[in-house]
Amino acid sequence: MSSSNPSDSSAPSGAAVLATAPALRLDGIRKVYGTGENAIVAVDHASLTVGGGEIVALLGPSGSGKTTLLSIAGGLLAATEGTVVVGGEDISGHSPRELTEFRRSKVGFVFQSVNLVPFLTAEENLLVVSELAGARGAARKQARTRAKELLAELGLSHRAGNLPAQLSGGERQRVAIGRALFNSPALVLFDEPTSALDTKIGEQVMELIQAEMRSRGTASVIVTHDTRMTHYADRTVRIVDGVLGLADAAGDVSGDH
Amino acid sequence: MFLALSEMRRAKVRFGLLAGAVGLLVFLILFQQALLTGLVNQFIGALKNQSADVLVFNAQARKNLEGSIILPDQAAAIAAVEGVDVAAPLGEGTFTVLAGGEETDAVIFGYELGGPGAPTTLIEGRLPEVGGEAVASSRNAADGFDIGDTVTVVPNPGGTATTFTVVGLAREINYSVSPTLFTDFAGFETARRAVNPDATQVLPSVMAVRVVAGADPAEVADAITAAVEGTEGLTRQQAVDESPGVASVRQSFSVILLLFYLVVPLVTGLFFLIVTFQKAGALTLLRAIGSPAGPLVRSLLIQVVAVVLSGAVLATGLFWLASLGGGGGLGITVEPMPVITTTLVVLVLALLTSFAAVRRVLRIDPIAATTGAGVQV
């Protein structure tokens, strides 16, 4: 369902969503590459709030700045200006080390292309998150249990021991979703999760994302250029030339940042 | 550990081939080192494994035992130098002997029983106690030089045959790659007269010196050189290292070994650099989902250690197999210290050359995970 009359890209649309604490708050985000005459503004004073459990589609053409904004929200990239708060944690001033820890524990990622470690099985690709956190003993055992549960929920129990190369494109994305959800993050960021899939599999993956996010009450931002995928979101926000606005069903911008 | 071992488990052939290559190269290093040691021992083991602290050569002999004689007045002067405890004659000569029913060449050393110059690596039997007894090089035991065997110096016309009974075997006491006997100096004189009946006097080749307790052999050797005209004092190690031929052999082997020591870590370093490039996407993903660089670097270094150690184990196995063949009669043996030392040196060098791969890992920018175009490394 896309929002038809949003007046503010910072405001979640549903009452239920508004009742919960925001999972993500971007305030006046600006990202500039280069300096002086060569400066390129990738994101220009973007503000966006995503409520707990809300699914937001970030729609925009190639080069519009949507992935840059997603990267800033996920602590992969530092903003030139502005404030980023994820799950109540202000990461704007975080050091690279703190951002690494933040990415490991507070946010989940599903990327466009490289999503799985090729030499790890499906189960190990989930476990790698806890291994990176240094899980030992009981924690490692718990992680194994959780990985098996997640794979079962995603219908991949029979594929637990398979390497990514032995999985279909849809299965790989499902494993990636499982990895993103492994640490029960407040926010999961999807970067063009269906771009490498055909329409049918893409829709299945979007249905899965919607179902998994809803069942867990996990907020998510889904970057896409495909308007057909926006109806899986609670709200669609359009970005053009780094400027964030709200979009109607057709994707036209109806408001400024 | 999790990442390192998982990757190695899934890429057994790739890592196995590298370990195999490292193993072969380490084997070559071990073999070359053993070959060098074997050669040196075959040529001058008798000097290396005798008990004199200092050997005094005739200065004109240029450290060549065969060309050296010490005159009686020089011998007396040497004994009087400060720091000399005992100075005893040590004679050396190559003779045609009858051993095991066959004529062969053998080197005979004659030393003063109980004095310096006795073999130090006795492995069976005992040292000679009376005239006519000898210790033989253990490598030649099967050729008629075993304990209980008799070795007869074949006399020239007019000479008298002299016979030695082998009463002990010593390891690595060969000289000039020949069967070698250590007997008393009088026995050596007898052997000399057997082949040279007209000799009026048999002079020692060198003087074997034992220094007084606490004295530095190098200082005593220098003092002898300075005090006794026409002589050159050398410590036992100097006599070995500076022996004609040995130094050049060592130098040639050193160049070869140096090349091997460079090649092994370079191969390892290049391999891991290539592997790091190949898995850049996975490494970037791991950085993006919150892996610090440390565990990724550790994973890389664990793999380097695993590959080098696996290679070393393979090399040791090959070396052991080669030692069974004796290395072409050079008596190559597997000894723990050279294997451990070589492995450690190769490991340290491999870790150093993996620095380029480590640097690549450290330079991975997690933002590259969003580009889908690979990794900026």
Residues 69-88 of chain A whose Cβ lies under 8 A from any Cβ of chain B? 70-71, 76-77
- Given a cut of 80, whether residue A246 has pLDDT beyond it is no
Instruction: Kindly report the pTM of this predicted structure.
Output: 0.75
pLDDT bracket for residue B3 (50, 70, 90): confident
Q: What residues form DSSP beta bridges with B124?
A: B169
Q: What's chain A's average pLDDT?
A: 83
CB atoms < 10 A from the CB of B125, how many?
18
**Alpha-carbon gap, residue A214 to A231, rounded angstroms:** 14
Tell me the nearest-neighbour CA distance from B259 into chain A, angstroms. Answer: 35
Q: Tell me the per-residue pLDDT of B118-135, one tens digit each, with 9 for 90 and over.
A: 999 999 999 999 999 999
Please give the average per-residue pLDDT across A1-7, as a whole number. 36
Find tokens 């959780």 and name the residue: A146
Confirm or reject contact between B10 and chain A (CB < 8 A). Answer: yes
Closest by Cβ to A103, choosing from B6, B11, B288? B288
Chain B's closest residue to A181, CA to CA, is B289
Which of B370, B375, B376, B377 to mutate to probe the A interface, most A CBs <10 Å? B370
What's the half-sphere exposure (Cβ side, CA atoms, 13 Å) at B50?
40
Tell me the nearest-neighbour CA distance from B372 into chain A, angstroms. Answer: 5
Residue B180 gets which letter from DSSP?
A: E
What pLDDT does residue B236 have?
95
- Given a cut of 90, whether residue B38 has pLDDT beyond it is no
Q: Tell me the per-residue pLDDT of A94-114, one tens digit each, with 9 for 90 and over.
A: 998 899 999 988 899 998 877
Domain residue extents for chain B: 2-43+246-370, 46-241
Please give the average per-residue pLDDT across A234-248, as a whole number. 82
Cβ proximity of A202 and A192 under 8 Å: no
Q: Which residues of B touch A129 (CB under 8 A)?
A: 289-290
Which is more confident, A111 or B205?
B205
Q: What are phi and psi of A208, to 5 degrees?
A: -65, -45
ipTM score assigned to the predicted complex:
0.84
Least confidently predicted of A14-23, A67-76, A88-97, B35-44: A14-23
Q: What's chain B's average pLDDT?
A: 90
Tell me how far apart the 2 most distant CA atoms of chain B are, in Å: 99
- Given a cut of 90, whether residue B69 has pLDDT beyond it is yes
Confirm or reject contact between B290 and chain A (CB < 8 A). Answer: yes
* CB spacing of A117 vs B284 below 8 angstroms: no
What pLDDT does residue B331 have?
65
Cβ proximity of B95 and B122 under 8 Å: no
pLDDT bracket for residue B374 (50, 70, 90): very low
- Residue B305's Cβ-count burial label (10 Å; 0-12, 13-18, 19+) is middle
Which two tokens mark A168? 């279909």
Cβ proximity of A157 and A77 under 8 Å: no
What pLDDT does residue B376 have?
36
* CB spacing of B369 vs A114 below 8 angstroms: yes
pLDDT bracket for residue A7 (50, 70, 90): very low
* CB spacing of A76 vs B282 below 8 angstroms: no
Tell me the nearest-neighbour CA distance from A15 into chain B, angstroms. Answer: 32
What pLDDT does residue B327 have?
59
Q: Tell me the per-residue pLDDT of B310-352, one tens digit each, with 9 for 90 and over.
A: 999 999 999 988 888 665 566 677 888 889 999 999 999 989 9
Confirm or reject contact between A163 and chain B (CB < 8 A). Answer: yes
Identity of the residue numbered A147: A
**Alpha-carbon gap, residue B237 to B252, rounded angstroms:** 19
First to last CA, chain B: 23
